[in-house]
Amino acid sequence: MKKVIILFAILMASSFSVFAEQGDEKRDLVLEMLEVTEAKKNHELVVESYIANFSSNPSLNNDQFKNYFREAMSWDALIEPMIAIYVESYTVEELQAIVDFFGSPIGQSFVKKSPEVNQKATAVIMNNIQQAMSTLQTQ
């Protein structure tokens, strides 16, 4: 019985080691993907775009709100949960394909155009939110 327990313990330890190595590989691929997609830069541009759009609301157009929003939505506040989501959601093969795509000329074109596209999309979204808020306030 003691030998069975020892064998089971060895098998479990080696299984956890394989999962840990795969987790490390996935994490490394996620970090590479975030780098090649310039995710931090684009994230910061989106946050600033939201702040600019919120500024049209007098109750949100103050340094206290802007600083709070920047802190709550900062890259440092969101990076670890986002890495965990990518690690949980994608296989090693999928992450490698994503890195390969965004490292390609077409992928880099997508990355370079994303800030402008995101800024325009944010403006559309904020406009719709403001219209919805106005409609709700008049009802």
Note whether residue 11 is domain-resident. Answer: no
Residue 10 lies in a domain: no
Structural domain includes residue 42: yes
Flag whether 13 is in a domain.
no
pLDDT digits (tens, 9 = 90+) for 52-103: 888 888 888 999 999 999 999 999 999 999 999 999 999 999 999 999 999 9
* Count of structural domains within the chain: 1
What domain range includes position 41? 22-138
Query: Is residue 38 in a domain?
Result: yes
DSSP the chain: -HHHHHHHHHHHHHHHHHHHHHHHHHHHHHHHHHHHTTHHHHHHHHHHHHHHHHTTSTTT-SHHHHHHHHHHT-HHHHHHHHHHHHHHH--HHHHHHHHHHHHSHHHHHHHHHHHHHHHHHHHHHHHHHHHHHHHHHH-
pTM for the complete prediction? 0.67
Specify the pLDDT at position 138.
84
